[in-house]
Structure 1
Amino acid sequence: MAHQAQEETVQLVKQIFRTYLKERNQRQTPERFMVLEEIYRSDGHFDADDIFFNMKNAGTRVSRATVYNTLDLLIECGLVQRQQFGKNQYYYERSYAYQQHDHMICKECGVVIEFCDPRILEIQNLMEKIHDFEVEGHTLHLFGRCNDREACEKRRESGDKIKSMKEKKEA
């Protein structure tokens, strides 16, 4: 059932992207849609090179420039969000039909821990009422340090940076 829901989402975002490109007289190339599909069939955060190498390893012929340009278009049309967790490293994530979540980032090893707390939505709704304002989205990044110094050091050495909500629950 989850697979079917994912496929329905993929078809829906492809239609949204198709309409977006058509309205702006942009070309609807197969490569752009392959990048979109790669993103929406993957989990969590990724950088442009992750997408490029995943597609290349799967035998898809796509250039790095196409990946970067498509990411920019997907951000413009609201299907992908760009996050900057480090000084100059950008990560991307799907933004259509996925649960709002926020991030904690370790300043030592760079690990990113996703979390979701419904109280943040409650605060957002309250701020809208108090300030007569319509929030269209938000990002929250909490910076600090891992308490488990040994695990932090291992992550820093291995380069493993992303820790999803699911992984956190299993730990």
Structure 2
Amino acid sequence: MATPALQETINEVKEIFREYLKNNGHRQTPERFMVLEEVYKSDGHFDADDMFFKMKDTGYRVSRATVYNTLDLLVECGLVQRHQFRQNQSYYERAYAYRQHDHIICDECGAIMEFCDPRIFEIQSLIQRLHDFDISGHSLHFYGKCNNPDTCDRKPDLKLKEPRKE
């Protein structure tokens, strides 16, 4: 069950998505809104197949193509952010009402760690002023090896893993 704050965010993003679909001539299908809701109930990073199988396991009747196409629409309208962490596969995370953050990715185990440093925002603001440029966003990824023996004692899988919650 979604918390009241999460439910409020879900209602807001549904309205934004509804307007986006309407203004861009796309159909407003229940399946698209189911994908949107699942994205905002999810924490962390996921790929399209993760989302498809999660929805299928939960009992949703949605096709893989609908999940992929809906994720593309959600990226276009700014509700979801797409990342490629040194791989050909895209990973997604929610973007609305979600604090700005950057990523540290372990090359050994594939863990993705998020961090937020206000100095990065200050640098972005300075670059904006110096170059008279309106920056709409940024993406910063650091790669290396984490020092967690519980996760880094194995080779990386084909897909990245979220860090373990302890």
Is the pair's TM-score, using the shorter chain for normalization, greater than 0.5? yes
Contact 2:112 2:160 in 1 (8 A): no
Which residue number corresponds to residue 109 of structure 1?
Answer: 109
| 1:154 CA displacement | 3.6
Contact 1:155 1:161 in 2 (8 A): no
1:13-32 matches, within 5 Å, as: 13-32=13-32
- 4+ residue stretches of structure 1 with deviation over 6 A? 157-160
Which residue number corresponds to residue 126 of structure 2?
Answer: 126
Q: Name structure 1 gaps, 5 residues minimum.
A: none
The 1-side partners of 2:5 and 2:79 are apart by 17
| 1:60 CA displacement | 0.6
Q: Report which of the two has the higher share of helix.
A: 1
The 1-side partners of 2:155 and 2:32 are apart by 33
The 1-side partners of 2:158 and 2:138 are apart by 31
Which residue number corresponds to residue 139 of structure 2?
Answer: 139
1:72 and 2:72 matched: yes
Which residue number corresponds to residue 93 of structure 2?
Answer: 93
Contact 1:35 1:67 in 2 (8 A): yes
Contact 2:102 2:141 in 1 (8 A): yes
SS at match of 2:33: helix
After superposition, the CA RMSD in angstroms is 2.0
Distance 1:66 1:118, change over 3 A: same
Which residue number corresponds to residue 55 of structure 2?
Answer: 55
The 1-side partners of 2:65 and 2:108 are apart by 31
Distance 1:6 1:155, change over 3 A: farther
Distance 1:154 1:160, change over 3 A: farther
Distance 1:95 1:141, change over 3 A: same
**Per-residue CA distance 1:121-158 (angstroms, 9 max, x = gap):** 11111111222211110000011122345631247369
The 1-side partners of 2:52 and 2:134 are apart by 36
- For 1:127, the aligned partner's letter is I
**Per-residue CA distance 1:28-77 (angstroms, 9 max, x = gap):** 10000000000011111111111111111111100000000000000111
The number of aligned residues is: 165
The 1-side partners of 2:157 and 2:69 are apart by 31
Q: What is the TM-score normalised by the length of structure 1?
A: 0.88
- For 1:141, the aligned partner's letter is H
Q: What is the TM-score normalised by the length of structure 2?
A: 0.91
SS at match of 2:21: helix
Which residue number corresponds to residue 81 of structure 1?
Answer: 81
